[in-house]
Amino acid sequence: MDYVLPKLDYDYADLEPHYDAQTVELHHIKHHAGYVVGLNNAVTKLKEARESGDFSLVKHWEKELAFHGAGHELHSLFWKNLRKGSDENKAEGKVLEAIEKSFGSYDSFVNQFSSATATVEGSGWGVLASDADGNLQVFTVENHQKAFIPGYKILLVCDVWEHAYYLKYQNRRAEWIENFFKIINWEEVEKRL
Ligand code: MN3
| Residue whose C-alpha is closest to residue 158's, from 132, 191, 119 | 119
Beta carbons within 8 Å of 112's beta carbon, 6+ residues apart? 103, 138
Mean pLDDT of the chain: 95
Residue 142 CA, ligand 1 centroid: distance in Å = 12
CATH 1.10.287.990 region(s) of the chain?
19-80
Residue 129 CA, ligand 1 centroid: distance in Å = 18
Please state whether beta strands 153-159 and 124-130 pair in parallel, antiparallel, or not at all (unpaired): antiparallel
pLDDT at residue 12 in the model: 98
Q: In this predicted model, what pLDDT tens digit does every residue of 27-39 receive, in sequence order?
A: 999 999 999 999 9
CATH 3.55.40.20 region(s) of the chain?
93-192
pLDDT at residue 158 in the model: 96
Q: How far apart are CA 59 and CA 49, in angstroms?
A: 11
CATH of 19-80 given 3.40.50.920, 3.30.360.10, 2.60.40.10, 1.10.287.990: 1.10.287.990
How many CB atoms neighbour CB 109 within 10 A? 20
Residue 125 CA, ligand 1 centroid: distance in Å = 9
Residue 178 CA, ligand 1 centroid: distance in Å = 17
- Average pLDDT across each block of 10 residues of the chain; the chain has 193 residues. List them in order: 95 97 98 97 97 96 94 96 94 97 98 97 95 95 81 92 96 96 96 93
Residue 131 CA, ligand 1 centroid: distance in Å = 25
How many CB atoms neighbour CB 52 within 10 A? 9
CATH C-level class of 93-192: alpha beta
Residue 75 CA, ligand 1 centroid: distance in Å = 6
